[in-house]
Structure 1
């Protein structure tokens, strides 16, 4: 208990203490100067008189006799009593607030102890809020750490959400929480220096922790990786990719087809022939709306030829891809970017001659309805 009390007092906001000292000093100076000139006492006696009057001790060895002296002594005594009460009230109020915070903190730590696997989010900015929403939508347990009190108070705690108003870089709390029960630490602050420090703190004590961090600047990606981050996400890269895809949306074609592994190269040959790029492939599990997505980003014919040679020389990889095709009943969608609609029209005509086209620019929901018929 003594340790907690000492910690509370040492963490008391200095502005309260500073203001109290300034007020006391000002009143003391007023008492000394006033005593010297109004009570007609020497400087040493003035210090003595001001002290005993401010503290309402009043030994009675110096008594005010004139009206002005009585008024001065009264104001000094009232000022001393009021000021001491003010300072004591500030200290007591702040002490109670700190005790309440420590009590709440103890309750949160107990809640964390009984909480099963959880995610930790460091930083509740715009990125952190999006991550939090995604996790809560999936009914995951989440611990949020942020030094901004207003942001923390804006969240409503629940059985699966604990909010800690602390600075992750100033406490060893993050190192303690990133233990075996922590599925992942997601660092979302906008300051790469803070992110780097948090990564180092966690990695030093938890070598097996899975750490995902944000990198505000591309130059810091290597530093964060060297510090021990498992995954690094840059809004600049993601934003650039989104801008690219949005800008090419009028020239993006989604073709849902059925074909075998042996026909991959022939299909790619047609895509390259018309100056198009195979951006990604979605593999549609029967009756499931969300597909498995694989990025490709290939546009040159030799890319397709090299991949064909790779499959021909690696039986295990070919076997794995064939199993994937069997799982999705060979139904998959190609995201293809191209120069214009004319190129797309020509490409579709060639593809129709080679493989079965289920549809063009179908939504995942529409494709799920089609594939669900195969289950029935």
Structure 2
């Protein structure tokens, strides 16, 4: 029975300590007035009697004789024992919980001290969990800061994962962690105000930190950028781009070609002629499956002309581009969007006259096989 009572009391939140103290005071007042009117004691003796009865000391100098006196003494002693036990158990439980949190905090900080090149994730919502999974798949060291206790409990800590149940905006914890060993601070909370505050805190304490933050609203992107965020990701923009690419998938062409850097503008004139948009360029490094991708999103002839003029006036950029073409043996792919398949057929015929076409809609694996053969 004692163990069951202790378990029940230990599960009660610390906020009930105040209520317990109020009940003890109320019982004490009840004991004083009862001793005065029921036991016929003066006020000083009533205080004395209420104290020794509630604490079950009971010296026996005042003995209840009548039935009502015995009932009063019984209720006072039982109430005193129960309430005192309740309050002291809550105090001890609260103390034990704080000591446990302190011990866990010390253990976590010790684990962080031996970590090298770690990422910090602030917020473990739907976005934060995806980021965490991606990092753990690549065996990266990660520190998660999340204020929701249940979310923290749902994640098992490992040698390269430390989960801290705290609010990143309430103290200087994030500022301490975002030091030299931190590779990136990834802010994933759904509240742009919290994100902004974290960005400001990290940037103030560590000017060199690489900060990536989520922006729930497009209007807040500029504010986060001014606050010091290096990269800002908006689910609205990403979702819109995904919808666009999925809707245009039947009208997207990936053509793998081989030509030198000097032929870029001539090639672009063909894209503009057929009213197609050059979405990106993928440079295929020999033997490596994943290409190096550059986003272009250009469709008008003056875009190509402007780029050609830029290269002609910047020798360093032109040399860098030529070196890149040499590295990939002039093999690269264009992802092109257009109105329909007939347009693509005409586009391919014109491209064949201009340059060597290696393949259409090839996979990265197929292209890697081709480029590997070229360097053997």
Q: TM-score under structure 1 normalisation?
A: 0.91
What is the Cα deviation at residue 366 of structure 1?
1.8
What is the Cα deviation at residue 32 of structure 1?
4.5
Q: Is the 8 A contact 2:265 2:305 kept in 1?
A: yes
Deviations, residues 171-193 of structure 1 (Å, cap 9, x unaligned)? 21111111111111111111111
Partner residue in 1 for 2:186:
186
Partner residue in 1 for 2:253:
253
Distance in 1 (alpha carbons) for counterparts of 2:28 and 2:340: 85
What is the Cα deviation at residue 300 of structure 1?
0.4
What is the Cα deviation at residue 313 of structure 1?
2.2
Once structures 1 and 2 are overlaid, which stretch shifts more, 30-39 or 152-161? Answer: 30-39
* Aligned counterparts, 1:1-376, within 5 A: 15-32=15-32, 34-35=34-35, 38-40=38-40, 46-376=46-376
Partner residue in 2 for 1:6:
none
The alignment partner of 1:168 has SS state of coil
Change (3 A) 1:344 1:85: same
Distance in 2 (alpha carbons) for counterparts of 1:43 and 1:190: 61
Distance in 2 (alpha carbons) for counterparts of 1:338 and 1:324: 27
Distance in 2 (alpha carbons) for counterparts of 1:35 and 1:368: 95
The alignment partner of 1:158 has SS state of coil
Distance in 1 (alpha carbons) for counterparts of 2:46 and 2:220: 64
The alignment partner of 2:58 has SS state of coil
Deviations, residues 189-242 of structure 1 (Å, cap 9, x unaligned)? 111111111122222222222211111112222222222222222222222211
Deviations, residues 40-78 of structure 1 (Å, cap 9, x unaligned)? 556665554333321223344432112232132122212
Once structures 1 and 2 are overlaid, which stretch shifts more, 21-30 or 339-348? Answer: 21-30
Distance in 2 (alpha carbons) for counterparts of 1:25 and 1:252: 78
The alignment partner of 1:207 has SS state of coil
The alignment partner of 1:229 has SS state of coil
What is the Cα deviation at residue 31 of structure 1?
3.4
CA root-mean-square deviation: 2.0
Distance in 2 (alpha carbons) for counterparts of 1:264 and 1:22: 83
What is the Cα deviation at residue 353 of structure 1?
2.0
Distance in 1 (alpha carbons) for counterparts of 2:201 and 2:44: 57
Distance in 2 (alpha carbons) for counterparts of 1:91 and 1:132: 38
Q: Is the 8 A contact 2:14 2:94 kept in 1?
A: no
**Number of residues of Structure 1 aligned to a counterpart in Structure 2:** 365
Q: Is the 8 A contact 2:289 2:367 kept in 1?
A: yes
Once structures 1 and 2 are overlaid, which stretch shifts more, 35-44 or 337-346? Answer: 35-44
What is the Cα deviation at residue 23 of structure 1?
3.2
Distance in 1 (alpha carbons) for counterparts of 2:135 and 2:80: 56
Once structures 1 and 2 are overlaid, which stretch shifts more, 270-279 or 43-52? Answer: 43-52
Q: Is the 8 A contact 2:14 2:90 kept in 1?
A: no
Distance in 2 (alpha carbons) for counterparts of 1:351 and 1:33: 104
Distance in 2 (alpha carbons) for counterparts of 1:102 and 1:117: 25
Distance in 2 (alpha carbons) for counterparts of 1:345 and 1:36: 106
The alignment partner of 1:250 has SS state of helix
Distance in 2 (alpha carbons) for counterparts of 1:40 and 1:183: 77
Q: Is the 8 A contact 2:284 2:290 kept in 1?
A: yes
Q: Is the 8 A contact 2:14 2:91 kept in 1?
A: no
Distance in 2 (alpha carbons) for counterparts of 1:32 and 1:297: 86
Q: TM-score under structure 2 normalisation?
A: 0.91
What is the Cα deviation at residue 22 of structure 1?
3.7
Once structures 1 and 2 are overlaid, which stretch shifts more, 224-233 or 172-181? Answer: 224-233
